[in-house]
Amino acid sequence: MRIPRRRAGALALALLVSCGALAAERTATLHEITAQGEAGAVGTITFTDAAHGLLVTPDLQGLASGGAHGMHIHAKGACGPREGSHGHAMAGGAAGGHYDPDDTQRHEGPYGEGHLGDLPNLIVAADGAATIPVLAPRPTVADLDGRAVMVHGAADHYDGHDDHDHGKGGVRMYCGVIE
């Protein structure tokens, strides 16, 4: 029997719940972000402690494009713009950089020893929906207090390139403060 992808994520979550593998939970409502600030809401992401890491469950609609998109926990619990290095407002800049409590200054992805905020890529369907859960093995719900989640415009390739247009997922597109 083939299970549709959207239902597969819900089924996986239901199995974890029924096994008693889940504990603490937080949510974030994501908004499209611009250099002027936050725009319309696109849905929520739920974060739950699970037996093998942090279960990240998106329920997002109307995202700009399909495919893989970089997703990270950012250091600050804010999603507004901030002035960039060339005097231009940077969308989502108030969130700061990737959450890196150990000051590793390394972008190695969710399975590396770098930023704790590096999450697996978010998968967006051609219709702009993102509902497939991912598991981040290192962070916990307790790490999320006072932080924001950011979804970028392109896939994260988890390399150390300093330019956000390469390797780290591209421009900041959607942001939500974790509550």
Provide the CATH number for the domain around residue 78: 2.60.40.200
Residue 18 has pLDDT above 50, yes or no: no
Type of residue numbered 94: A
> Is pTM beyond 0.85 here?
no
Mean pLDDT across the chain, nearest whole number? 85
Domain, as residue range, for 84: 5-177
d(CA 31, CA 76): 16
3-class DSSP state for residue 28?
strand
- Counting the structural domains of the chain, the total is 1
| Residue 61: DSSP 8-state | -
Confidence of residue 162 (pLDDT cuts 50, 70, 90): low
